[in-house]
Chains A and B, each alone.
Chain A
Amino acid sequence: MARELTYAAAIREATVQSMERDESVYLMGLGATDPKGIFGTTLGLEQRFGSKRVLDMPTAENGMTGVAIGSALVGLKPVMVHQRDDFALLALDQIANSAAKWYSMFNFQRSVPLTIRMIIGRGWGQGPQHSQSLQATLGHFPGLKVVMPVTAPDAKGALISAIFDPNPVIVLEHRWLYAVLGDVPEDRFEIPLGKARTACFGTDVTIVATGYGVLEAQRAAEILASDGISAEVIDLRSIRPLDEEAVVDSVSKTGRLIAVDSGWRTFGVAAEVVALASERAFSSLKAAPIRITAPDTYVPTASALANEYYFSTVDIVNAVCAMFDLPLKTDGECGLDPARAKDVPDASFRGPF
């Protein structure tokens, strides 16, 4: 039985069902037990499972990631949460040097069944160190899985898969997705990690997108449909393993590729997708692929700068229009208010987070 849940509630349900199923699952993170409960995703868990299994932690990202790894090596299944991925950079030593490598550098004797949830994405004045999109950085390390669920059912299934995967898995959650509703099955289920999802089918152009960009790409596909262009949207879902077949199959079919990612342009996920298509679907390409990404600069704070920094649906639409030699569209023609602020999900947002 499926019923409508928010993305945040789906994450919470995945956690509850995993902890009920397996006593070795525990959760820790700064603020995991506080009254806000990480956007509601951990609310009530301490009361339900006790403070030994649901715990706040010292402000020590690197050390505590090491602690989580050590506990995973002796039989536990830790779930760590970082309110922002920027803070998790403090733990990059343990993530990259220990978690990602332990299984292979010790000759496959012990793996590290560790899940690290990190929150990414834009928002109202968050600025250079509070709203980076680090999926490409994290995706660079062999041995580390990195997933970016977009829908509420995917959030539940991917988190359950991550918790029971024997490898370290980073789950990146875009902060603007928590309130998004979706039909979520009540029962415990898993989403295979490393498999993309076709968010909508099309024949003229492939839009490969990640995270929140998937929603913007889907909106772009709807607008393009009114011009008679059939866009296929591939929700990558997993940065690593990368579902190469899904990308190659779609590009081989459509011959056109737009790669959309909230990370930076250079050495980014979109660059990887374009390289993949160039190597494996070159003869199918009818036009040069286009990347739509954040520019190679720091995330700004001021709203005026943020409006310049972030891409939106209209940029995806116009990339496709340019490919087909069609006139470019305005915000208004895409149903967007030209005076809108791009650093809030909608007009109801009032801060401070």
Chain B
Amino acid sequence: MTRRLDTGTADELLYYYRAMLRIRMVEEAIADRYSEQKMRCPTHLSIGQEAVAVGVCAALELRDYVVSTHRPHAHYLAKGGSLPAMIAELYGKATGCCGGRGGSMHLIDLAVNMLGSTPIVGGSVPIAVGAAFGSSMRGEDRVTVVFFGDGMTEEGVFLEALNFAALKNLPIVFVCENNYFSVYSPLSVRQATGRSRVGIATASGLQTGTAHGNDVSAVAALASDAIARARGGGGPAYLEFDTYRWREHCGPNYDNDLAYRSLEEFAEWQTRCPITTLQRELVRGNDIDQNEIDRLSRQIQEEIDSAFAFAESSPDPDTSLLTRVFADGGE
């Protein structure tokens, strides 16, 4: 959406609210319809984690790049990616953002400089560094933001990416969404107690910052500073936001019955819902009332229904292009 607003104003907060609510409602609609077996691709929902995507992307310009992961819906939508093209992609249709060749984990919208998302953990991170390197080499005024989870910081390429970004003072902001789990594996079985991801970034020569990932204003404030600094030649930053995934790692359901996390922990995070927290704040400040909330919801629901109708009625991909793997051209 790449709309910059004066910080702390009601306009800004209403913008965040609507953007987060829209992502939540889109993903709930996906979850509701997933069992119809028409969206035949692994789908990782961001429900509960919307504030990081919205807060960070609000600080970006249209020309700035975003790169994402296997859980990209929120990033794609927050950057302004086309909703009908995303839903059609989940349906495997020709009108999808990848023409049905990618699915939920491969989202791209070059019109808004959403450069792509890929599901190999760590795979898209050095590519984002390369985009920043390319912008820098070409003398362009663009910042790149790359989103990833806590699991990515265990990959070797994490260090490789941080090192090169710092070495070349690249205009990139690394955004870690720490949701405490890699699939079902908690941080405690993956990282030593006291391992500091921020410390690793600092030691690699990056500026760093942390904030509560469900507080969209805090996310936006931190991201805005880091992005402005990167844009001004002040170098790359690593930001980390704690947040929590509500639904199962992959799929439309809740999976607390598997007992890999406690119900207490889950309930605790639900009280910190980024959307209801902000809604309470807006209502308290008389910036929104129930009528307006209902009106917003209806408006978003119409947009969603229209996107699903578009996907359902779109044609299948052209099978004659199945074996096309090389671009024509050269000289």
A residues adjacent to B (C-beta < 8 A): 24, 26, 52, 57-58, 60, 62-76, 93-94, 97-98, 100, 102-111, 142-143, 145, 161, 164-167, 190, 241
Contacts and interface: CB of A to CB of B under 8 A. Distances in A.
Contact of A66 (B102, B126, B163): B126
A79 B97 CA distance: 29
Contacts of A71: 130-131, 133-134, 137
Contacts of B323: 142
Contact of B120 (A58, A93, A145, A161): A93
Given A60-B164, A71-B131, A76-B137, A107 B101 contact: yes
Given A76-B138, A97-B118, A97-B120, A108 B324 contact: yes
Contacts, number: 150
A145 B101 contact: no
B108 interface: yes
B328 interface: yes
A131 to B, nearest CB: 25
Interface stretch (B68-76, B153-161, B258-266, B271-279): B153-161
23 contacts: A58-B164, A62-B160, A63-B159, A63-B163, A66-B126, A66-B127, A67-B126, A70-B133, A71-B131, A71-B133, A74-B138, A93-B123, A97-B123, A98-B118, A103-B327, A105-B98, A106-B101, A107-B96, A107-B102, A108-B99, A108-B324, A142-B323, A166-B328
B8 interface: no
B157 A108 contact: no
Interface in B97-137: 97-102, 106, 108, 110, 115-116, 118, 120, 123-135, 137
Contacts of B132: 70
A167 B127 contact: no
Nearest to A26: B137
B194 interface: no
A106 B123 contact: no
A8 B126 CA distance: 31
Interface of B: 65, 67, 96-102, 106, 108, 110, 115-116, 118, 120, 123-135, 137-138, 156-157, 159-161, 163-164, 167, 321, 323-331
Contacts of A64: 126, 160, 164
Nearest to A99: B127
Closest 4 pairs between A and B when the two form their complex, measured CB to CB: A70-B130, A66-B126, A63-B160, A107-B99
A62 B161 CA distance: 10
Contact of B123 (A52, A72, A94, A161): A94
B98 A107 contact: yes
Nearest to B128: A70
Contacts of A190: 330-331
B156 A70 contact: no
Contacts of A69: 126-127, 130
B118 A76 contact: no
A105 B137 contact: no
Contacts of A109: 108, 110
Q: Which of A52, A62, A65, A145 has the most CB of B within 10 A?
A: A62
